[in-house]
Structure 1
């Protein structure tokens, strides 16, 4: 029995291997004893398993698999129920052993028998739960079925579907209320007076509606129209918050900030780091915090492009504006698989490959290949970004979630504080003490800025914006002179 357990199970069952062994022994006995009846028995014992093996591979049963995740997408560490429905599409019968393939981080693969005891209408239903501590996109499945012949001699295992992708989004952290809203108030709305017309008689009016206060009645327009008219000089507008998300490899690499290479749902490496993961959670939490206060959101990267332009999980990569519950859901999905990325530079492609090869040799055979789009970074905080911010000047706060930035980059970013009703910057680095000079430059430009490390509590960092107000704004030229730098 111990010897049979060591034989490969993807060809024959124990019964099949036993029959082959018996056939070989009988064949040897027939040769020694010269018995034709033993020879016939030996051939039968040897041929029958082989015929069963050929039959189970040529006449494979056909199935249809339906898989549903609830909820989908799911947040990190939250359980998701997987509902499977398996139906046979051929007239065959018999029991089949099945197994759902899972990525290693989800633990043991669930196994089940088809048909199930509760099968109805030819459809067997199964349910199991899984959860992930890491964000990303993961392929769940396929379901593999292990077929056997009617005699139980041979086995054949094959996938009966392609699997489905489960999107795991970063979970938002609840943030404390701060003075972020500024003059627009905490409820996310503001009254805006329309002063476009030079004369009070030319103010926009409309017909009186039940419930309008009498103080808004415009008597001159009432006299002209012969009907009660009210003013329309007050309208409610929705404020807009702009979030800058830094995902440059250079901002999260370097000494003390090891890059982690995670396998994506198709086996490709996903570049991230502990500090970048902190920033992803921060971007998700800030977006949820503002969306709950009726803010519309605009997410950009440090070059002025849509923040999720290179995110494989983004439903609409070219979109930069989001609003409402659906917009927040789209942000969460886009953050699920976002990674450190830049724009490829054709002239540097050879240098990138050589550097990747040297890195692979220095780290051994297990080192992962560096993706070709993560070695060259587009300019950060240049005129393109400033033009984007200027187009939405003073519509709401500007919030920057950054990695390590240089003093030159801080000088370039500092004037952007003038484009928002408030400006907040979170600089995530391994050693926050080394970012003091950068924070000083940003504060002189009008930003409220804090430096954090990956172990900092996000709620505590957010609360510092009330405890550490920004210094008075200084002209951009003074900021440059104070830093001793030129752009």
Structure 2
């Protein structure tokens, strides 16, 4: 619990008047002035006693749900219990919700009883919405002093970008062994690493030469390289999304979330990268926190070329990234399929596809999904 104390402008005036009246009264022998000064001091003392009373409250909050897509409904249930043994609480508290506040009336809340308030959480914008803590402010009847205290912890509601249904999924260079992807022939099982033998492992997988060197059985770990992998690169540079609160970046986040969701639905490996750095944590949470900033596209392209994390690259950028499509096209060699999404560039001249790069231009997330499904010959 945190405390925030403050004297109001009226209280400051009364305190100043008290000093002047007491000084004048005692120094020049005016008892009436001294009496007025003493009354002002008494008023301040009573204000302190009134405002300093601390209500003992227990606060619990539950978000339902705590992760939603942009525009979906989310509610916060706040339960406040009076844990005092003697005095009833008669207060009006305020609960912080994002950039606004919600009044929470605590009228005649008897000791041991509780009250519950349920209110919607704004989800019109993508981002992390902090909710809480509960703030209780007490002011004395004369308005001389105020004392604010906060109760409870802060809850978080994650407003994810919208996900649009993508029916088509790039096949990449190889297909999985279960036959879901059939664009090209089967891939292969290749060596990945060595590990210690575990009871039940097949003896034909034992690497005898390494086992002889180490002194214990070592087993080959193998990797199925036949499964296509999608790499999503979100351009989060401020230069790629000009303007304040750029709409193009919101569209790019929606497109990235849609591609990730489509890959997960088809049980295909997918990775998410930002130009500013590799995504760490759940991908939808990363996209929720993402914001335009600094980044080096050329360095990111070099890293992706060297590491070759998959066979399909999806690059999503805004109007400012139009001139960088040539830089991204250099990945056409290491990645069999390169798709560039140019988003939010209204009224611009369409980009001619070149260097084997598939270019999708869209002014909204819905338009991106339609254009994506309309691509032929991944």
Query: C-alpha displacement at 1:90, in angstroms?
Result: 4.7
Alignment of 1:464 onto 2:374: yes
Judge conservation of contact 2:96–2:102 (CA < 8 Å) in 1.
yes
1:259 aligns with 2:259: no
Q: Does 2:364 correspond to 1:449?
A: no
Deviation digits for residues 261-316 of structure 1 (CA, Å, limit 9, x no counterpart)? xxxxxxxxxxxx0111110111111111111111222112347x30x4xxxxxxx4
What RMSD over aligned residues (CA atoms) do the two structures have, in Å?
A: 4.2
Tell me whether 1:100 sits opposite 2:91 in the alignment. Answer: no
Higher relative contact order (CA 8 A, sep 6+): 2
Deviations 1:7-51 (A, max 9, x none): x99989xxxxxxxxxxxxxxxxxxxxxxx9xxx9x9999787544
User: Structure 1 residue 340: deviation in Å?
Assistant: 0.7
Task: Tell me if the contact between 2:175 and 2:227 (Cα under 8 Å) persists in the aligned partners.
Answer: no
Alpha carbons 2:60, 2:152 under 8 Å: kept: no
Q: 1:277 aligns with which of 239, 250, 254?
A: 250
Work out the CA distance in 1 between the residues paired with 2:321 and 2:283: 28
Counterpart pick for 1:402 among 317, 324, 337: 317
The aligned counterpart of 2:235 is 246
Higher helix share: 1
> What residue number does 2:304 align with?
385
User: Would the aligned equivalents of 1:170 and 1:280 in 2 still touch at CA under 8 Å?
Assistant: no
Cα distance in 1, alignment partners of residues 97 and 54 from structure 2: 26
1:412 aligned residue: 327
* Structure 1 residues 402 and 292: CA distance shift in structure 2, 3 A: same
Size of the aligned set, in residue pairs, is 319
Equivalent runs, 1:103-142 vs 2, <5 Å: 109-113=102-106, 116=109, 121-142=112-133
1:337 aligns with 2:285: no
Counterpart of 2:63 in structure 1 is: 69
Distance (Å, rounded) in 1 between the aligned partners of 2:301 and 2:90: 62
| Runs of 5+ consecutive residues of structure 2 not aligned to the other structure | 1-6, 12-31, 192-200, 204-221
Secondary structure in structure 1 of the residue aligned to 2:50:
helix
Q: Summarize deviations over 1:341-391 as a string: whole Å, max 9, x none.
A: 115xxxxxxxxxxxxxxxxxxxxxxxxxxxxxxxxx563554223113x2x
More strand by percentage: 2
TM-score, structure 1 as length reference: 0.54
- Counterparts in 2 of 1:50 and 1:404: CA distance versus 1, 3 Å: closer
Write the deviation string for residues 390-448 of structure 1: whole angstroms up to 9, x where unpaired. 2x353xx2211122466763333213133334332211242464352xxx3xx432222
The residue that corresponds to 2:148 in the other structure is 158
Tell me which of 53, 69, 74 is aligned to 1:59.
53
Structure 1 regions of 5+ residues with no counterpart? Answer: 1-7, 13-35, 197-204, 208-232, 261-272, 309-315, 320-329, 344-376, 471-487
> 2:266 maps to what in 1?
293
